[in-house]
Amino acid sequence: MVMDPGTYSPVPSDLILRAPKVLLHDHLDGGVRPATIVELAHQTGYSGLPSADPQALGEWFLTAANSGSLELYLETFAHTVSVMQTRDAIRRVARECAVDLGVDGVVYAEVRFAPELHCEGGLDLHAVIDETLAGFAEGQAQAAAAGHPIRIGVLLTAIRSAAKSSDIAKLAVEYRDRGVVGFDIAGAEAGFPPTRHLDAFEYLRRENAHFTIHAGEGFGLPSIWEAIQWCGADRLGHGVRIVDDITIGPDGQPVLGRLAAYVRDRRIPLEMCPSSNVQTGAAASIAEHPIGMLRRLGFRVTINTDNRLMSGTTMTREMTLLSEAFGYGLNDLQWFTVNAMKSAFIPFDERLSIIDERIKPAYSALKAVLAERLTERPN
């Protein structure tokens, strides 16, 4: 008797590559191709790269990001941001991002970036956003022509240690009918609580705009509590430390604290990034990542890449690692994917269309392929 192909694990990597994916937490400046960094550094005169060899540079980013510290992890971005200070560079990076995600099987992605970080070369915030959107449009067209149609929504990020969040929030509203779908704050969490940016969040709520907040990655439960209860976040960027509010009772069963129960009951999406969380010390290993427990408890968990360059990763790789660590089958991967699509910042009918027309049919087809393979296996 052949087992249900939807529960078979680990899922073969070639099927995971073909599976439709939804990505909610991906940083534009954290996913630049190493070869592109080298070329842009040469074009712009940036001389600070640790290596001019693309392969060695990619390995350097991965090694440097394995610091066990969010603050040290963030320091690697100095190089990618430094080469993204011209119109052509910004447009190219956005275009290549769309193409790369399409090849990885991503059908919908929300890619975030901080416009204020790209004004050192004389560009203003509007120019940075315009070039990014143009690059994504070009990349989506290229991906579709290559047989990898993808839709990308942009999140405008404000740096939590700076003071431009209100300006960036207004730009998110200004551009929301031109490809921007939401707002975010990012950067070092300790010492920079989200409540420092209440004006921005209050403005966004008045404007019926969507926003997510990096919380519960480098700092604990207070960061999550403020992001939800004070700032009104629609989603939590990472949110991995919510497990600090879950204990194991005398009977060996998990007991949710008030905050964890609220997050689960309200279906607040958690944008989890397993490999990145291990690198920054938010999780000890993939096998010990809280995503396993949170999935069992029914939290609205999603799988994300965070920074593909720094983690040397893709959505295919993240799903493969989780399938191997937790025994996830195609049913589980579909559950994560539908969770993410439900949690996207585009209109409900558009989310539903992608779920019904792209995600569910593709997973049904993959299960059929796997079932055929299983029946062909020798006893």
| Active-site option among 217, 226, 271, 318 | 217
Tens digits of residue pLDDT in 244-302:
999 999 999 999 999 999 999 999 999 999 999 999 888 999 999 999 999 999 999 99
In this prediction, residue 379 has a pLDDT band, given cuts at 50, 70 and 90, of: low
Asked whether the beta carbons of 258 and 220 are under 8 A apart, the reply is no
Q: Are 143 and 102 in contact (CB under 8 A)?
A: yes
In this prediction, residue 70 carries a pLDDT of 73
Residue 241: pLDDT over 60: yes
Task: Answer whether residue 2 shows pLDDT above 60.
Answer: no
CATH superfamily of 13-208+301-374: Metal-dependent hydrolases (3.20.20.140)
User: What Cα–Cα distance (Å) separates residue 302 from each residue in 56, 324, 336?
Assistant: 31, 17, 5
DSSP string, 317-359: HHHHHHHHHH---HHHHHHHHHHHHHTSSS-HHHHHHHIIIII
Look at residue 40 in the predicted model and tell me its pLDDT.
Answer: 98
What is the layout of strands, in order, in the sheet containing 270-272? 21-27, 106-113, 151-159, 180-186, 211-215, 235-238, 270-272, 301-303
Q: Is the pLDDT of residue 104 over 70?
A: yes
pLDDT at residue 378 is higher than 70: no
Least confident of 81-90, 99-108, 219-228, 313-322: 219-228
> Looking at residue 14, what is its pLDDT?
97
The residue type at 365: A
Give domain limits for the chain. Answer: 13-208+301-374
CB atoms within 10 A of CB 233: 25
Residue 324 reports pLDDT greater than 80: yes
- pLDDT tens, residue by residue, 26-71: 999 999 999 999 999 999 999 999 999 999 999 999 998 887 777 7
What are the distances in angstroms from CA 48 to CA 78, 81, 83?
A: 9, 12, 10
Scanning the structure block, which residue is given the tokens 């966004």? Answer: 204
Q: Is 217 a catalytic residue?
A: yes
pLDDT tens figures, 167-186: 999 999 999 999 999 999 99
Q: Which residues contact 216 (CB under 8 A, 6 or more apart)?
A: 223, 224, 227, 236, 238, 239, 240, 241, 242
Q: State the average pLDDT over residues 354-358.
A: 98
The answer to whether 101 touches 36, Cβ cutoff 8 Å, is no
Q: What is the rounded end-to-end Cα distance, in angstroms, of the chain? A: 10
> pLDDT digits over 134-178, tens only?
999 999 999 999 999 999 999 999 999 888 999 999 999 999 999
Neighbours of 61 (CB within 10 A): 24
pLDDT of residue 109 exceeding 90: yes
